[in-house]
């Protein structure tokens, strides 16, 4: 650890927020349980897929990386999307609606996701890496509460930029944890305050954002509504090697 | 400019916030007027000093760099502080109270400031680099309004970390500009929302922050109160080469 990195004080649990993956070098992830957050749509689809019986989900950055799994056997489902369309030759895109028990049960899904994969790769050295979304919010928080450990909420953002939807979710996690004895950094305080503003109508609150507009143009408004459902699932995906599996 | 950088759309002015200097590479600063923000205390002291007749203020990173100006003549005042104390042999520290007309009138002040200098250096390629603080808030905003240009509000943060005081000030600037036709990024929306929460008692709002606690320990509460005064000054410091001078 170098002296510009944040490391929790001894004896006090830290509850910190990394607002974009570009800020991850400021944190010594080895001191934390890391929660990866990419609400639209990677971590929502991952939570739904693991809940619905996917054996594992492997996040990769590039469509080519994903395609390479085709040769490894029929047990792999390949998910790749560009500009809101399923790439030709792939099984499905990034919509959570594709991750049904019928489709993913017993299968390993290889998922192409730029922002989420980037955040995951940078977090590898953490004590544990788990996946969060509104879908598994309370299950995730209940698990975090009993770990007696430092928590770093990593917002995947969009191309390393800050975004509101991931930050608002970080604020929702803090809302459930803050009554416990955690020390919060300024980003955690801000995320929770933003959540207070948006919590009663998260979809409405997010409508003003750039990303919301971008996703709307892609015609995936139903996905957005789906991803903002709270506590639809209870599974907590956890990173084991290269794969995300059920905790 | 590479494809991961933000660049404003043609025909629409951008009003963007860079939450920490670590995120500056995401912006093509050549497209913006940049406002540097380091509320506690560098940009507040700079605004006050320029208002009070300092000929120029030169921000440097290291105490040694500052000390080197001693040999250049008696017209330089050297400001350096470590752990809340004026460094031996220097004229004063970073407290804005030192930047009175009697002390700084007609002089060039060499100011040691880590976060502010870092942000300034990274912003050199901007169309213009100006200095903002609560002290010159409205004067700064009135000037920005008539530039008909993109604005990037750069929060100096603390060792590249996000902090609430700089973000809240960014939100205060947005509050004055947002009725004009600007396109705001998510960080600008968040900063303005946080400002709405804190605006009626900024000092109270900031008490919960880590930096506030840190500064309190340094015994500079009077400086904090001073730095949160709105519209005490009207001068806008602007970067000209290595120096900050009155616009």
Structure tokens belonging to residue B8 = 């404003």
Mean pLDDT of the residues in chain B: 92
Q: What is the pLDDT of residues A74-128, one digit of tens each?
A: 789 999 887 777 888 899 888 999 999 999 999 999 998 888 899 999 999 999 9
Task: Report the pLDDT averaged over residues A2-25.
Answer: 82
Asked if pLDDT for residue B202 goes beyond 80, the answer is: yes
Structure tokens belonging to residue A99 = 């991750």
Chain B residues lying within 8 Å of A197, measured CB to CB = 193, 196-197
pLDDT for position B10: 60
- Closest chain B CA to residue A192: B194
Q: Are A8 and A31 in contact (CB under 8 A)?
A: yes
Residue B173: partners with Cβ closer than 8 Å, 6 or more residues away: B35, B132, B137, B140, B141, B144, B151, B153
Structure tokens belonging to residue A141 = 């928080």
CA atoms of B6 and A37, how far apart (whole Å): 22
Chain A residues lying within 8 Å of B25, measured CB to CB = 22
CA distance B72 to chain A (A): 33
- Closest chain A CA to residue B206: A186
A164 has a chain B CB within 8 A of its CB? yes
Looking at residue B34, the DSSP 8-state letter turns out to be E
Taking a contact as any Cβ pair under 8 Å apart, which residues of chain A between 43 and 102 contact chain B?
none
A133 has a chain B CB within 8 A of its CB? no
Taking a contact as any Cβ pair under 8 Å apart, which residues of chain B between 210 and 239 contact chain A?
210-211
CA atoms of B100 and B91, how far apart (whole Å): 13
pLDDT for position B113: 87
Q: What is the pLDDT of residues A17-57, one digit of tens each?
A: 999 999 999 999 999 999 999 999 999 999 999 999 999 99
pTM: 0.94
Task: Say whether B23 and A162 touch across the interface (CB within 8 A).
Answer: yes
Measuring CA to CA, which residue among A231, A227, A242 is closest to residue A46?
A: A227
How many residue pairs from chains A and B have C-beta atoms closer than 8 A?
Answer: 79
Among A98-107, A202-211, B64-73, B159-168, which is the least confidently predicted range? A202-211
Task: Report the pLDDT averaged over residues B71-95.
Answer: 86
End-to-end CA distance of chain A: 29
Q: Are A154 and A36 in contact (CB under 8 A)?
A: yes
Among A21-25, B100-104, B222-226, B234-238, which is the least confidently predicted range? B222-226
For this complex, say whether ipTM is above 0.85.
Answer: yes
pLDDT band at A1 (very low <50, low <70, confident <90, very high): very low
A30 has a chain B CB within 8 A of its CB? no
């Amino acid at each position: 650890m170098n002296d510009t990195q944040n490391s929790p004080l001894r004896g006090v649990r830290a509850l910190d927020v990394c607002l974009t993956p570009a800020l991850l070098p400021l944190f010594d992830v080895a001191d934390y349980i890391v929660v990866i957050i990419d609400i639209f749509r990677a971590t929502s689809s991952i939570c739904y897929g693991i809940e619905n019986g996917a054996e594992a989900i492997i996040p990769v950055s590039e469509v080519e990386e994903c395609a390479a799994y085709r040769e490894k056997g029929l047990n792999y489902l390949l998910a790749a999307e560009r500009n809101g369309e399923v790439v030709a030759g792939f099984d499905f895109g990034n919509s959570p609606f594709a991750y049904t028990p019928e489709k993913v049960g017993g299968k390993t899904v290889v998922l192409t996701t730029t922002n989420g994969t980037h955040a995951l790769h940078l977090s590898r050295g953490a004590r544990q890496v788990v996946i969060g979304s509104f879908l598994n919010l309370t299950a995730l928080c209940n698990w975090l509460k009993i770990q007696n450990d430092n928590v770093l909420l990593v917002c995947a953002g969009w191309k390393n930029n800050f975004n509101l939807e991931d930050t608002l979710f970080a604020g929702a996690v803090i809302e459930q944890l803050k009554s416990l004895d955690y020390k919060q950094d300024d980003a955690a305080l801000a995320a929770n305050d933003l959540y207070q503003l948006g919590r009663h109508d998260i979809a409405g609150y997010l409508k003003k954002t750039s990303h919301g507009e971008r996703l709307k143009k892609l015609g995936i408004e139903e996905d957005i509504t789906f991803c903002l459902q709270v506590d639809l699932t209870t599974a907590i995906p956890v990173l084991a090697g290269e794969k995300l599996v059920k905790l």
